[in-house]
Amino acid sequence: MIELKHIGKKYGSKKALENVTLSIPRGKVIGLVGENGSGKSTMLKIMAGLVSVNAGSVTFDGKPITRRVASRIAYMSDTDSFYLYFTVQQLIDYYASQFEDFDVIKAKEIIQFLNVDLHSKMKNLSKGNRGRVKIAVTLAREADAYLLDEPFSGLDPMVRDDIAKGLIRFTDPERQTVIMSTHEIREVEPLLDEMIIMQGGSVLAHRAVDEIRDLYGVDATSYMVSLFRDQHPKREMEK
């Protein structure tokens, strides 16, 4: 569904991505993992049509990704990018005015499922409840792909569990793809079909989670740690 071929991206003289080639299939939940600064957020923004590339090509169903094509892709930033004076209901109405594929009924159903009051002002919500609202308005779009940048960051275990359940309940595994960058690998592993591991702007591995377990006899977290250790044997010896 989404193809990246030999992608390169720089911010000034700083290299963010180098020669990244990936094929993202339809109907998968994919974890995008790696150290801070490895290029995860940049790659999601490129897939969402928010950032242009310096080299290579990125396509969605064979068409170059532009803002128009990306209207079929729902992107959730790791920052709170909404008006704090909105109530939850007003935020839903705003999203409905911006996105043709936004389903108001579905948004309210997700908000109810996640136990957030529609009349609460965004500025008065806890960080956990703001996280619930962000995921609700993102999943309320009937998109082909959901790109979630650190959806669990800084949230307590109960909130993370609620959001994980929402991802399962309110997406269609037959036709919709979810790609999420996360540091909470161990907690989200049960949700994942595949994992993309990044380091220094490059892709170290793109593997099915079941394949990791079958071939290596370890969980996804242990596999990632061993992969990083193989990349930096000297660093491990010095420890």
Residue 119: domain span: 25-238
The reply to whether 37 falls in a domain is yes
What does the alpha-carbon distance between residue 134 and residue 141 come to, in Å, rounded to a whole number? 12
Supply the CATH number for residue 137's domain.
3.40.50.300
Long-range contacts of 222-230, Cβ-Cβ distance < 8 Å, separation of 24 or more: 224/33, 224/185, 224/195, 224/197, 227/197, 228/35, 228/199, 228/204
Structural domains in the chain (count): 1
Q: The tokens 């600064």 sit on which residue? A: 37
* Tokens found for residue 32: 């995008």
pLDDT value of position 158: 87
| pTM, 2 dp | 0.92
Q: Is the pLDDT of residue 239 over 60?
A: no
Identify which has the larger pLDDT, 70 or 237.
Answer: 70
Place of tokens 């008006």: 83
Q: Would 152 be classed as within a structural domain? A: yes
Domain assignment present for residue 5? The answer is: no
Residue 11 lies in a domain: no
- Asked if residue 161 belongs to a domain, the reply is yes
Q: Is the pLDDT of residue 232 over 70?
A: no
pLDDT digits (tens, 9 = 90+) for 145-159: 999 999 988 888 888
**pLDDT tens, 173-214?**
889 999 999 988 888 898 999 999 999 999 999 999 999 999
Flag whether 230 is in a domain. yes
Indicate whether 18 belongs to any domain.
no
- For residue 14, being part of any structural domain is answered with no
For the chain, the average pLDDT equals 91
